[in-house]
């Protein structure tokens, strides 16, 4: 149960639409839930951190994934699984047909509608910029996670330094964003370019896309860490989820400050 849901529950109590016992039943969850499959689900993570519990799919058995999805849907109302290979994602979609499996980013979503075939590419508070088309799976992971967390990001794809003129038409909306997630493999130069052009904080995501000396993402990772353009934070290789969490906390913190000053 997240902050907004708790607020609604308490409002129902104050307005007399729910009893004290009913309210306690709804919010009196354990700090974590033992699923019986070797997993402990952190049901109050969203209340503490603003980021709800999300299931990391890689390495988990189908029994664990199914159990986690079932319990999160019951307690949080929706569920997100990241890092699923095609086989596991399709099998999970068969077991939970009301959910959606998105093959490119390796995500399974239950009880949350999103369209990753036609992501929004207009102005948004959080803009995701993908250097190459091969970086798009990581970009879509970041996009989907931000959407799941309650934000509508914008996505600009395939505007890397091999043809930098492709970036220029998008600069006005990129510069008006509140945070940029920039995803690049190969030599990882695009975050440096945009950090030198835009007055916007940047979280950079190196990807494992590239030829031999890109070293599976190590080269763009080091390039982003050693950028001469200030104002860049860097997450781990292919970590679109981590970048989305960073952006979500920035945006949510700004929203809280706005409410306090209103």
Mean pLDDT per 10-residue section of the chain, whose length is 262 residues: 71 85 64 70 76 90 91 87 95 94 95 90 94 96 95 94 93 95 96 94 96 95 95 96 95 84 72
Question: For residue 212, what pLDDT is reported?
Answer: 93
Terminal-residue alpha carbon distance, the chain: 26
Q: Please, what are the domains in the chain?
A: 31-110 (no CATH), 126-259 (3.40.50.1970)
How far apart (Å, rounded) are the C-alpha atoms in residues 112 and 236? 27
How far apart (Å, rounded) are the C-alpha atoms in residues 187 and 197? 19
Residue carrying the six token digits 């290789």? 237
Question: For residue 30, what pLDDT is reported?
Answer: 52
Q: What are the angstrom distances between the C-alpha of 46 and each of 31, 76, 79, 211?
A: 11, 9, 13, 39
How far apart (Å, rounded) are the C-alpha atoms in residues 196 and 182? 13
**Signed CA dihedral, 207, 210, 213, 216: sign only:** positive
Question: For residue 260, what pLDDT is reported?
Answer: 78
Question: For residue 28, what pLDDT is reported?
Answer: 57
27-35 contacts, C-beta under 8 A, 24 or more apart: 27/1, 29/1, 29/75, 33/71, 33/75, 35/64, 35/67, 35/68, 35/71
Q: 159: which residues sit within 8 A by CB, 6+ positions away?
A: 129, 130, 131, 166, 167, 170, 190
Alpha carbon dihedral 249, 250, 256, 260, in 10-degree steps, equals 150
Q: Which two three-digit tokens encode residue 76? A: 């949080």
Please name the residue ranges forming H helices in the chain: 3-14, 20-27, 45-49, 62-76, 86-95, 136-148, 171-175, 190-195, 218-225, 240-261
Residue carrying the six token digits 């939970």? 96
**Signed CA dihedral, 47, 51, 56, 61: sign only:** positive
Q: What is the DSSP string of 83-126?
A: S--HHHHHHHHHHSTTSEEETTTTEEEES----SSS---S--SE
Question: For residue 92, what pLDDT is reported?
Answer: 94
With beta carbons less than 8 A apart as the criterion, state whether 79 and 111 touch: yes
pTM, two decimal places: 0.86
């Amino acid at each position: 149960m997240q902050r907004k849901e708790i607020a609604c529950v308490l409002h129902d109590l104050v307005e007399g639409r729910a009893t004290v016992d009913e309210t306690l039943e709804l919010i009196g969850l354990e700090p974590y839930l033992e699923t019986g499959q070797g997993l402990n689900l952190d049901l109050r993570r969203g209340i503490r951190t603003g980021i709800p519990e999300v299931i990391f799919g890689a390495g988990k058995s189908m029994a664990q994934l199914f159990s986690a999805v079932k319990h999160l849907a019951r307690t949080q109302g929706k569920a997100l699984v990241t890092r699923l290979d095609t086989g596991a994602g399709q099998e999970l979609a068969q077991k939970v047909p009301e959910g959606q499996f998105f093959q490119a980013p390796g995500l399974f979503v239950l009880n949350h509608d999103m369209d990753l075939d036609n992501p929004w590419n207009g102005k948004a508070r959080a803009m995701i910029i993908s250097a190459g088309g091969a970086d798009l799976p990581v970009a879509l992971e970041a996009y989907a996670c931000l959407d799941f967390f309650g934000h509508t990001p914008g996505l600009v794809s395939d505007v890397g330094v091999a043809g930098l003129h492709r970036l220029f038409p998008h600069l006005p909306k990129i510069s008006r964003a509140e945070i940029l997630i920039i995803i690049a493999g190969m030599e990882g130069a695009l975050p440096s370019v945009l950090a030198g052009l835009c007055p916007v904080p940047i979280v950079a995501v190196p990807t494992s896309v590239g030829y031999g000396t890109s070293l599976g993402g190590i080269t763009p990772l080091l390039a982003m860490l050693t950028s001469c353009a200030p104002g860049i934070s860097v997450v781990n290789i292919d970590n679109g989820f981590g970048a989305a969490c960073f952006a979500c906390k920035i945006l949510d913190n700004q929203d809280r400050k706005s409410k306090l000053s209103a």
